[in-house]
Homo-oligomer: A and B are copies of this chain.
Amino acid sequence: MSGKIIHRIAEVRSKLREVRALHKSIGFVPTMGYLHEGHLSLIRRARQDCDFVVISIFVNPLQFGVGEDYAEYPRDLSRDARLAFSNGCDLIFAPTVKEMYPQGFATFVEVGGLTEHLCGASRPGHFRGVTTVVTKFFNIITPDHTYFGQKDAQQALIIERMVTDLNLDLTVHILPTIREADGLAMSSRNTYLKQEERRAAPVLYRGLCAAQEKIEKGEREVENLINLITEIITSEPLAKIDYISIVDLDNLQPIQKITGKALIALAVRFGQTRLIDNIIVEV
């Protein structure tokens, strides 16, 4: 519990200049706060890899669409600080919206292609908000290593693409999804779920696992696999499917048959809450 919370860009820059001067490597985990075991696994890995670990906590308005949950998104900085610092974080950067997007802000970073399918189709502008804020964080924090969760698979691929394309001099690490005992992928949004929705939510992972089993038994037809997952998920009356997609892992384009590596990704609503999950399969 020896870490520091900084709210201003100039202050975080000045602190990190000191860190750099000591030739320390910097690890960075961007978050929207309300930390769960998924985030903490990233922080612990950054702690192992790097001399100095920074996390950002910022609910980024730019990545929320009209009618989405920007206002309701859960926030608890003192709880987050306790969790982050006890898992090896040295510095929390928690800027205000005005600090990140002052009057006149007009610059956006956008990745084409990868952003059009899956969540990009359901949430127009979402990934532009993500890539813009992450570019800003990278420029402020200048990390050597940065850590993202596989749970946001599309986001992770987009960030990797962006880092390559913009020649950012850092390594992106994508770490496995952390799940509750019943298989539900950890997410800050799980706190939105009513009791009966929470009970129903593991159906997402059950659907994904069933598809994986079928693939292991030889199924390669995407249509059959999507039908199988759809059937399992719709067996839960509370679940409303946003999308279930099986795509090429490199370019996120829909495929017909599974060959090589593929991403099975889905988004499902339970009441007002939209949950995502995915697995990577390889044949």
Q: Could you tell me how many residues of chain A have their Cβ less than 8 Å away from some Cβ of chain B?
A: 27
Are the C-beta atoms of B109 and A161 separated by less than 8 Å?
no
Q: How far is the CA of A139 from the CA of B167 in the complex (A)?
A: 6
Question: Which of B107, B113, B162, B168 is close to A110, meaning CB atoms less than 8 Å apart?
Answer: B107
Are the C-beta atoms of A114 and B106 separated by less than 8 Å?
yes
Are the C-beta atoms of A110 and B111 separated by less than 8 Å?
no
Q: How would you classify the secondary structure of chain A's contact residues: helix, strand, loop or mixed? A: mixed
Closest residue of chain B to A100, judged by CB?
Answer: B167
Are the C-beta atoms of A165 and B111 separated by less than 8 Å?
no
Q: Which of A104, A142, A161 has the most CB of B within 10 A?
A: A104
Q: Interface code A160-204, partner B: CB below 8 Å = 1, 0 otherwise? A: 011001111100000000000000000000000000000000000
Question: What are the residues of chain B within 8 A of A112 when measuring CB–CB?
Answer: 106-108
Are the C-beta atoms of B166 and A135 separated by less than 8 Å?
yes
Are the C-beta atoms of B139 and A107 separated by less than 8 Å?
no
Q: How far is the CA of A142 from the CA of B162 in the complex (A)?
A: 17
Q: How far is the CA of A139 from the CA of B140 in the complex (A)?
A: 13
Question: Which of B13, B106, B161, B251 is close to A111, meaning CB atoms less than 8 Å apart?
Answer: B106
Q: How far is the CA of A168 from the CA of B13 in the complex (A)?
A: 11
Closest CB in chain B relative to A132 CB, distance in Å: 8
